[in-house]
């Protein structure tokens, strides 16, 4: 608990010390209709990879315009939407695997 509080305080102080707009690199943006997913030459799934219990669990991931606009972002901004149907003793999810 103490380490998390201290880390949060250090981050807040660092952000407060910035005098101009802070820009961060865009790793991936979701402003598209479909999310990329493919296999690399070694057969490893890359991109947005869905996984789950072999029978019964369903996973769907897409992009959507949220019902309430995200503050500070332009109109029509898209967000990730994850639909899961997971029964008792089942598991499901997704990961975003980057390429090297």
Nearest to 94 by CA among 10, 41, 84: 84
| Tokens (6 digits) for 26 | 């865009």
Q: Which residues pair with 82 in a beta bridge?
A: 61
pTM exceeds cut of 0.75: no
Q: Which two tokens stand for residue 73?
A: 């972002």
Question: 46 forms bridges with which residues in the sheet?
Answer: 38
Query: Quick count: other Cβ atoms within 10 Å of Cβ 99?
Result: 8
- Reading the chain (100 residues) residue by residue, the pLDDT tens digits are 434 434 444 544 455 555 455 566 666 666 666 777 888 888 888 888 888 888 778 888 888 888 888 888 888 888 888 888 888 888 888 888 876 5
Spatial contact of 79 and 70, defined as CB atoms under 8 Å apart: yes
């Amino acid at each position: 608990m103490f380490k998390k509080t201290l880390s949060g305080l250090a981050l807040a102080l660092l952000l407060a010390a910035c005098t101009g707009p802070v820009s961060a690199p865009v790793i991936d943006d979701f402003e598209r209709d479909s999310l990329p997913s493919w296999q690399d030459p070694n057969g490893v799934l890359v991109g947005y990879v869905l996984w789950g219990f072999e029978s019964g669990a369903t996973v769907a991931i897409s992009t959507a315009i949220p019902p309430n606009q995200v503050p500070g972002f332009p109109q029509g901004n898209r967000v990730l939407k994850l639909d899961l149907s997971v029964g008792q003793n089942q598991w499901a999810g997704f990961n975003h695997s980057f390429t090297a």
